[in-house]
Structure 1
Amino acid sequence: MTRKLRLALLAAALFMSGLAHAEIDTKVAEELMHKAGLWDQLGQMGAQAEAGFAQRLKQSDSTATSSEAQRASAAMGRAFGPELLRATSTKVLAQNLKPEQVATLLRWFDSPQGQAVRQAEVDAAKKIVSPDASMREGRVLFDALPDARKALLVRMVQATRSAEFMLETSGNIAIAMMQGARLVQPESAAVTESEIRAQLAAQRPQMLTLYAAFSIASFATMYQDIPMETLQAYADFLESEVGRHFNDVTLQAVNAAFIQGAKDLGQRLPGTKDASNV
């Protein structure tokens, strides 16, 4: 009897261990990325990193030949291309999302409220507005809102960790551009990754405050046509255990994607020198 009990306990322990390391299907992870808008966002982030590098290339005292600069730009495009960023993010989501929460996530994203929120975000992404103009417009809208709607938007900003997401993303893009700039700038002018991370850490409190204010203004504009009941449902979802875990894993996935992209770029850059292409 004792032996049977031990075997039963061992089997239960193995079963629980399996649950702890369970992964969701890759296709399901991709579906969630599409429904949450992360799929499109990753494409935009990669394009921002590539465009920022191209701009820095024009403004810097480049030591690279034109052919080296072209290869470096191509290397940046491949390392931070949508395919690689999405592949890494999909893997992280598949490994870290809880299988038992997938049905709840899909139920929200497929609900009328979830689809209305997603459509508002898609429509906002199509508008080309400068950050300064977006901040001014959103602030005017926010200031004119009833207190209840203001409080709801603040809850949403906090629950989505929007300010932190923006800070991490901008930092990752800056580091990506720095990696590429090592080829085209004099060695004495090149800023190291550790120096950038130290600068970001020192400025983190002020930047979080700035990004939180920007997020509130953006949310006021983006969701201005969404009824209070829908926003309430969205806030409730974001603050739920499932919503919080999904946001945490999403941030983890984006960070992992850019870290992998930076490593990939570091491996590609030595091959962009003319000496390596004779």
Structure 2
Amino acid sequence: MRLNSLVKPLLITGFMLAGTAQAAPDAREVLEASPVDDIVAQYPEMMSRGIQDGLKQSGQVPPMVADSIGFLVSNSFRAADIEQRVVANLEAALTPEQLEEVHGWYQTPVAGKIAEAEIAASAPAAWPEIRSRAEDLNKRYQGTAREKLFDRFDAASRATESAVDTTIAVQLGLGTAMAALSRDSVHHEKMRERLESQRPALRGMVGQQVYDGYLFTYRDISNQEMNLYLDFLESEAGRSFTRVVTNSVQQAVIEPVESIGARLAAFGNFGGE
């Protein structure tokens, strides 16, 4: 066999391998490199626990009913469905260059350290510790650079804004069901208006919870590392990634809750016939 006949296949193979190595990561790879997929995996339990606790604290329904609604919520979420929505929206909204930039950030040691902290703090099992340490952490960081970095973090991550929007949507969905179960004739739009009128107060309450979570989650992250993280979040690629992920997860969370609300409302109406 002539040398040329060997060289051509080797050159072609080399070009193919080089192209594979340099190809931009796709949306699925970016999601897997980030902590988002691990956090999304906890959403069924997170939503179930959050709604159960909220209903019990409000006293709207007996504890047994709150537990039943929480069970319905847990079984209405599939992490795989949420992930698929996020992937599809990332593919549609981000350029290959932006996906590559996001993927590159999450390959760094700092990003890995921060991702581990975010995954651990998002688990429902960590919530009691976040609450129990909130007062101490607020005092410890009062007047410090970490406190001052929060506004940047909150604006870049859209944490409070997203949490308030989701809270109102979830309360509206469940509120409609509770009204039906209690034979309350409150109209859906009136309930929406009432909840929207409470947005400023809700923002203050949720904002404090987000701040408590921020102090707890990043307590072992240095200010230098936080600044690197904020630089990423504030970059064009970081902003786009955060916006798409937040909106996708928010919608994926709200839709099942609205469906549950409609089912409970139908059940309440059926029982009244």
TM-score above 0.5, yes or no: yes
> Aligned ranges for residues 112-261 of structure 1 at < 5 Å?
112-126=109-123, 127-129=126-128, 132-143=131-142, 145=144, 147=145, 149-178=146-175, 181=178, 185-188=181-184, 193-261=188-256
Q: Matched residues in 2 for 1:235 and 1:167: separation?
A: 22
The amino acid that maps onto 2:36 is L
User: What per-residue deviation string (whole Å, max 9, x for no partner) do you get for residues 115-157 of structure 1?
Assistant: 1111222333352426643431331222163x4x433333222
Task: Tell me which amino acid in the other structure corresponds to 2:250.
Answer: N
Cα deviation, residue 222, structure 1: 1.9
Residues 75 and 268, structure 1, Cα contact 8 Å, conserved in 2: no
Q: Counterparts in 2 of 1:85-100, with a 5 A limit?
A: 85-100=82-97
Mark the CA change 1:214 to 1:57 in structure 2 (over 3 Å): closer, same or farther: closer
Partner of 2:220: helix, strand, or coil? Answer: coil
Is the alpha carbon distance of 1:233 and 1:261 closer, same or farther for their aligned partners in structure 2, counting shifts above 3 Å? same
Deviation at 1:159, TM superposition (A): 1.4
**Deviates most, 231-240 or 248-257:** 248-257
Q: Would the alpha carbon gap of residues 85 and 152 (structure 1) be closer, same or farther in structure 2, given more than 3 Å must change?
A: same
Q: Which amino acid aligns with 2:40?
A: L
Give the whole-Å Cα distance in 2 for the aligned partners of 1:130 and 1:261.
29
Contact 2:168 2:196 in 1 (8 A): no
Q: Tell me the percent identity.
A: 21
Letter in 1 for 2:182: P
Aligned-partner Cα distance in 2 for 1:131–1:198 = 32
Q: Are residues 54 and 142 of structure 1, via their aligned partners in 2, closer, same or farther at CA, if it must alter by over 3 Å?
A: closer
The one of 101, 106, 114 equivalent to 1:104 is 101
TM-score (norm 2): 0.69
Q: Residues 33-72 of structure 1 correspond to what in structure 2 (within 5 A)?
A: 33-51=31-49, 56=55
2:128 is paired with a residue whose SS is coil
Query: Aligned equivalents of 1:155 and 1:123: distance in 2?
Result: 22
Report what 1:6 is aligned to: none
Amino acid aligned to 1:200: L
Is 1:138–1:218's contact at 8 Å kept on the other side of the alignment? no
Letter in 2 for 1:208: R
Counterparts in 2 of 1:133 and 1:255: CA distance versus 1, 3 Å: same
**What is the CA-CA distance between 1:106 and the residue it aligns to?**
0.4
SS of match in other structure, 1:188: coil
Count of residue pairs the alignment pairs up: 241
| Residues 97 and 231 (structure 1), Cα distance of their counterparts in 2 relative to 1, 3 Å cut | same
Of structures 1 and 2, the one scoring higher in RCO (CA 8 A, sep 6+) is 1
Partner deviation per Cα, 1:210-254 (whole Å, 9 max, x = no partner): 333333333223222222321111111111111111121122112
**In 2, Cα distance between the equivalents of 1:270 and 1:128?**
31
Partners of 1:211 and 1:61 in 2: CA distance: 23
- TM-score norm. by structure 1 comes to 0.68
Structure 2: state its 5+ residue gaps: 1-23
RMSD: 3.8
Structure 1, gaps ≥5 residues long: 1-24
